[in-house]
Structure 1
Amino acid sequence: MKSFSSLFCCLLLAVSAAGCWVSELPEYVIFSCDTDDDCDADGVVCIPRTGQRGFCCKPVAEMCNDIDDDCNGQTDEGFNLQTDNAHCGVCGNACNAVTETCVNGTCKSRGELVCDNELDDDTDGAKDCADPDCVGKTCNKAGGGKGTCAGSTCK
Structure 2
Amino acid sequence: MKSISSLVCALGLGLVMAVAASACWVPELPDGTVFSCASNEDCALAGEKCVPREGLSGYCCMPSANATEVCNGVDDDCNGKKDDLAATCYGGPEGTAGKGLCKAGTPKCGANNEQLCEGEVLPTEELCNRVDDNCDGVTDEGFDLQQDVENCGACGTACSAGQTCLAGKCTGRVQQTCTEGSDDDGDGLVGCEDTDCANQACGTGCTCKSNVAAETTCTDGVDNDKDTKSDCADTDCNNQSCGTGCLCKSNVAAEISCGDSNDNDRDTKIDCADTDCANQACGTGCTCKSNVAAETACGDGNDNDKDTKIDCADTDCANQACGTGCTCKSNVAAETTCNDNVDNDKDNKVDCADTTDCPTGTACGTGKTCKSNGTCS
TM-score (norm 2): 0.22
Structure with higher RCO (Cα < 8 A, 6+ apart): 1
